[in-house]
Chain A
Amino acid sequence: MSEKDLKPARPMMGFGRGPGSHNTIGRPIEKAKDFKGTLRRLLTYLKPHRVKFIIIFLATVVSTVFNIISPKVMGQAITKLFEGFLMKMKGLPNAAIDFKYIFNIILILIGIYVVSAIFNYIQQYIMADVAQKTVYEMRKDINAKLSRLPLKYFDGRTHGEILSRVTNDVDVISTTLQQSLTQLITSVVTLVGIVVMMLTISPMLTLIAFVTLPLSFLATKVIAQQSQKFFARQQKYLGQLSGQVEEMYTGHKIVKVFNYEKQSIDKFNKVNDQLYDAGWKAQFISGMIMPLMTAIGNLSYVVIAILGGIAVIRGKVTIGNIQAFIQYSREFSHPIVQTSNIANIIQSTIAAAERVFEVLDEAEQIPDQKDLLHLDQPKGDVKFEHIKFAYSKGKILIEDINIDVKKGQTIAIVGPIGAGKTTLVNLLMRFYEVNQGKITVDGIDIRDMERGKLRSLFGMVLQDTWLFKGSIKENIAYGREKATEEEIIQAAQVAYADHFIRTLPEGYDTILNEEANNISQGQKQLLTIARAILANPPILILDEATSSVDTRTEIYIQKAMLALMKGRTSFVIAHRLSTIRDADLILVMNQGSIIEKGTHQELLKQYGFYADLYNSQFVGLNLKEKVS
Chain B
Amino acid sequence: MTSGRILVDGIDIRELTQEKLRAKIGLVPQKAVLFTGTVAENISFGTNDLPRDKIIRAAKIAQASDFISTLKQGYDAQIAQGGTNVSGGQKQQLSIARALAKHPEIYIFDDSFSALDFKTESKLRQALKKETEKDTVLIIAQRVTTIMDADRIMVLDGGRMVGMGTHQDLMKTCEVYREIVASQLSEEEWI
Q: Which residues of A contact B (CB under 8 A)?
A: 1-10, 12, 243-244, 246-247, 250-251, 253-260, 263, 415-418, 547-548, 551-552, 554-555, 558, 576-578, 581, 612-613, 616-625
**Given contact pairs A9-B36, A9-B85, A259-B23, A551 touches B176 in the complex (Cβ within 8 A):** yes
B15: CB under 8 A from chain A?
no
B80 contacts A263, C-beta separation under 8 Å: no
B46 contacts A259, C-beta separation under 8 Å: yes
State the Cβ distance, A408 to closest chain B Cβ, in Å.
22
Please encode chain B, from 80 to 99, with 1 for each CB lying within 8 Å of some chain A CB and 0 for all others: 11101111110000010010
B132: CB under 8 A from chain A?
no
**Cα separation A618 to B120 with both chains bound (whole Å):** 12
State the Cβ distance, B100 to closest chain A Cβ, in Å.
12
B22: CB under 8 A from chain A?
yes
B89 contacts A418, C-beta separation under 8 Å: yes
**Cα separation A616 to B189 with both chains bound (whole Å):** 14
Q: Which residue of B lies closest to A582 (CB)?
A: B186
Interface residues of B in 131-154 (CB under 8 A from A): 142, 145, 148-149
**Cα separation A258 to B108 with both chains bound (whole Å):** 13
Q: Which B residues touch A620, using CB under 8 A?
A: 122, 125-126, 149
State the Cβ distance, B74 to closest chain A Cβ, in Å.
9
Please encode chain B, from 13 to 32, with 1 for each CB lying within 8 Å of some chain A CB and 0 for all others: 00000110011011101000
Q: Which residue of A lies closest to B35 (CB)?
A: A247
For the complex with contacts A254-B98, A258-B102, 15 further pairs of A-B residues with Cβ separation under 8 Å are A4-B72, A5-B72, A5-B77, A6-B85, A10-B80, A251-B34, A256-B18, A417-B87, A417-B88, A555-B183, A577-B189, A617-B122, A620-B122, A620-B126, A624-B188
State the Cβ distance, B116 to closest chain A Cβ, in Å.
7
A257 contacts B25, C-beta separation under 8 Å: yes
Please encode chain B, from 51 to 81, with 1 for each CB lying within 8 Å of some chain A CB and 0 for all others: 0000000000000000001111100011111
Q: Which A residues touch B145, using CB under 8 A?
A: 617-618, 621
State the Cβ distance, B90 to closest chain A Cβ, in Å.
9
Q: Which A residues touch B85, using CB under 8 A?
A: 6-7, 9
State the Cβ distance, B167 to closest chain A Cβ, in Å.
9
Q: Which A residues touch B180, using CB under 8 A?
A: 551
B9: CB under 8 A from chain A?
no
Q: Which residue of B lies closest to A9 (CB)?
A: B80
**Cα separation A558 to B84 with both chains bound (whole Å):** 33
**Cα separation A573 to B69 with both chains bound (whole Å):** 30
A555 contacts B182, C-beta separation under 8 Å: yes
**Cα separation A51 to B121 with both chains bound (whole Å):** 70
A2 contacts B120, C-beta separation under 8 Å: no
Q: Which A residues touch B149, using CB under 8 A?
A: 620-621
Q: Which B residues touch A9, using CB under 8 A?
A: 36, 78, 80-81, 84-85
Q: Which B residues touch A415, using CB under 8 A?
A: 117
Q: Which residue of B lies closest to A623 (CB)?
A: B189
**Given contact pairs A258-B98, A259-B19, A624-B189, A547 touches B142 in the complex (Cβ within 8 A):** yes
Which 7 pairs, one residue from A and one from B, show the smallest C-beta to C-beta distance?
A258-B46, A416-B117, A9-B80, A251-B33, A617-B118, A260-B46, A578-B186
State the Cβ distance, B15 to closest chain A Cβ, in Å.
18
Q: Which residue of A lies closest to B176 (CB)?
A: A551
Most buried by B among A4, A10, A258: A258
B19 contacts A6, C-beta separation under 8 Å: no
Q: Which residues of B contact A (CB under 8 A)?
A: 18-19, 22-23, 25-27, 29, 33-36, 45-48, 69-73, 77-82, 84-89, 95, 98, 102, 114-120, 122-123, 125-126, 142, 145, 148-149, 176, 179-180, 182-186, 188-189, 191
B82 contacts A247, C-beta separation under 8 Å: yes
Q: Which A residues touch B186, using CB under 8 A?
A: 576-578, 581
19 residue pairs A–B, Cβ–Cβ below 8 Å: A5-B72, A6-B86, A9-B85, A10-B80, A243-B36, A246-B81, A250-B33, A253-B29, A254-B29, A254-B45, A254-B95, A417-B89, A417-B116, A418-B87, A576-B184, A613-B117, A617-B118, A621-B145, A621-B191
**Given contact pairs A552-B179, A616-B122, A254 touches B33 in the complex (Cβ within 8 A):** yes
Q: Which B residues touch A616, using CB under 8 A?
A: 118-119, 122-123
**Cα separation A575 to B4 with both chains bound (whole Å):** 41
**Cα separation A257 to B191 with both chains bound (whole Å):** 37
A613 contacts B72, C-beta separation under 8 Å: no
Q: Which A residues touch B118, using CB under 8 A?
A: 416, 613, 616-617
State the Cβ distance, A591 to closest chain B Cβ, in Å.
12
**Given contact pairs A258-B98, A620-B149, A247 touches B70 in the complex (Cβ within 8 A):** no
Q: Which residue of B lies closest to A248 (CB)?
A: B35
**Cα separation A127 to B48 with both chains bound (whole Å):** 62
Q: Which residue of A lies closest to B70 (CB)?
A: A1
**Cα separation A256 to B179 with both chains bound (whole Å):** 36
Q: Which B residues touch A618, using CB under 8 A?
A: 145, 189
Q: Which residue of A lies closest to B90 (CB)?
A: A418
**Cα separation A4 to B70 with both chains bound (whole Å):** 7
A551 contacts B179, C-beta separation under 8 Å: yes
Q: Which A residues touch B70, using CB under 8 A?
A: 1-4
Tell me which of B22, B34, B69, B71 contacts A259 (CB under 8 A). B22
B78 contacts A6, C-beta separation under 8 Å: yes
**Cα separation A286 to B176 with both chains bound (whole Å):** 69
A417 contacts B115, C-beta separation under 8 Å: yes
Q: Which A residues touch B72, using CB under 8 A?
A: 3-5
State the Cβ distance, B88 to closest chain A Cβ, in Å.
7
State the Cβ distance, A161 to closest chain B Cβ, in Å.
14
Q: Which B residues touch A625, using CB under 8 A?
A: 188-189
State the Cβ distance, A47 to closest chain B Cβ, in Å.
43
**Cα separation A205 to B121 with both chains bound (whole Å):** 86
**Cα separation A620 to B34 with both chains bound (whole Å):** 31
**Cα separation A295 to B176 with both chains bound (whole Å):** 83
**Cα separation A581 to B142 with both chains bound (whole Å):** 22
Q: Which A residues touch B95, using CB under 8 A?
A: 254
Most buried by A among B35, B80, B84, B148: B35
B80 contacts A8, C-beta separation under 8 Å: yes
**Cα separation A573 to B72 with both chains bound (whole Å):** 33
**Cα separation A617 to B145 with both chains bound (whole Å):** 8
State the Cβ distance, B85 to closest chain A Cβ, in Å.
5
**Cα separation A577 to B143 with both chains bound (whole Å):** 13
Q: Which B residues touch A5, using CB under 8 A?
A: 71-73, 77
**Cα separation A176 to B45 with both chains bound (whole Å):** 48
Q: Which residue of A lies closest to B78 (CB)?
A: A6
